[in-house]
Copies of this chain bind each other. A is one copy, B any other.
Amino acid sequence: MKKNKPKYKQIIDAAVIVIAENGYHQAQVSKIAKQAGVADGTIYLYFKNKEDILISLFQEKMGSFVERLDELIKHEKTAAQKLKVLIENHFLILSEDPHLAIVTQLELRQSNKELRQKINEVLKGYLELVDRILDQGVRSGEFSKGLDIRLARQMIFGTLDETVTNWVMKEQRYNLADLAPKVHELLLLGCKGEK
């Protein structure tokens, strides 16, 4: 299994750095190889082509992102509490890896439609996580019975994404994680519905 060999992760990590520092369109394969400390040709022993590096990058990073969130949420009981932990850690994890934040929020969105479609497949895992929280909330009576789960999910994801993107575009000059409580409060009100 190539994914377990050290060079596989080495190349992906190099790609994150090169894309974050040079931008998507200036991230040549040769630059990634140099950053990874391997020859250009070695890249192609581990990845089918350049697009495959980017897809794998997203799958690896986003996959473990969703896994981490999933693990943390398990220990919470209420949907509200789960949403809180989700938001806190969504912000926290991206705060911890500024390069990754730049790549996922800005650079990878410049990719073409096909690549973005594959990225969306990976995002589904995240969106399902949100859906499960919303579903629990509605069932338990925490959230409004009439809550449209698809819309609520779009609100939650849209808000978090927009908040992180703003933070990245402001060059990460303020503390993203600090925003979590207020964002949680805002989103929760929408979910709870009219009292």
Q: Which A residues fall within an 8 A CB radius of B?
A: 23-25, 106-107, 109-113, 116-117, 120, 148, 151-152, 154-155, 157-163, 166, 169, 179, 182-183, 185-187, 189-190, 192-195
> A162, B158: Cβ atoms under 8 Å?
yes
User: A116 — which chain B residues lie within 8 A by C-beta?
Assistant: 106
A186 contacts which of B23, B183, B190 (Cβ < 8 Å)? B190
Query: CB-nearest residue of chain B relative to A109?
Result: B109
Q: Which 3 A-B pairs have the closest CB atoms?
A: A158-B162, A158-B158, A186-B190
> B187, A194: Cβ atoms under 8 Å?
no
Report the minimum CB–CB distance from A138 to chain B (whole Å): 14
> A155, B186: Cβ atoms under 8 Å?
yes
Q: Is the interface of A mostly helix, strand, loop or mixed?
A: helix
Query: CB-nearest residue of chain B relative to A155?
Result: B159
Which of A157, A187, A190 has most B Cβ within 10 Å?
A190
Q: How far is the CA of A159 from the CA of B182 in the complex (A)?
A: 16
Q: How far is the CA of A24 from the CA of B194 in the complex (A)?
A: 43
User: A25 — which chain B residues lie within 8 A by C-beta?
Assistant: 112
User: A159 — which chain B residues lie within 8 A by C-beta?
Assistant: 154-155, 158-159
Q: How far is the CA of A145 from the CA of B24 in the complex (A)?
A: 42
User: A157 — which chain B residues lie within 8 A by C-beta?
Assistant: 162
> A162, B166: Cβ atoms under 8 Å?
no
Report the minimum CB–CB distance from A174 to chain B (whole Å): 10
A195 contacts which of B24, B151, B185, B195 (Cβ < 8 Å)? B195
A190 contacts which of B120, B151, B189 (Cβ < 8 Å)? B189
> B112, A186: Cβ atoms under 8 Å?
no
> B113, A23: Cβ atoms under 8 Å?
yes
> B158, A161: Cβ atoms under 8 Å?
yes
User: A120 — which chain B residues lie within 8 A by C-beta?
Assistant: 169
Report the minimum CB–CB distance from A157 to chain B (whole Å): 6
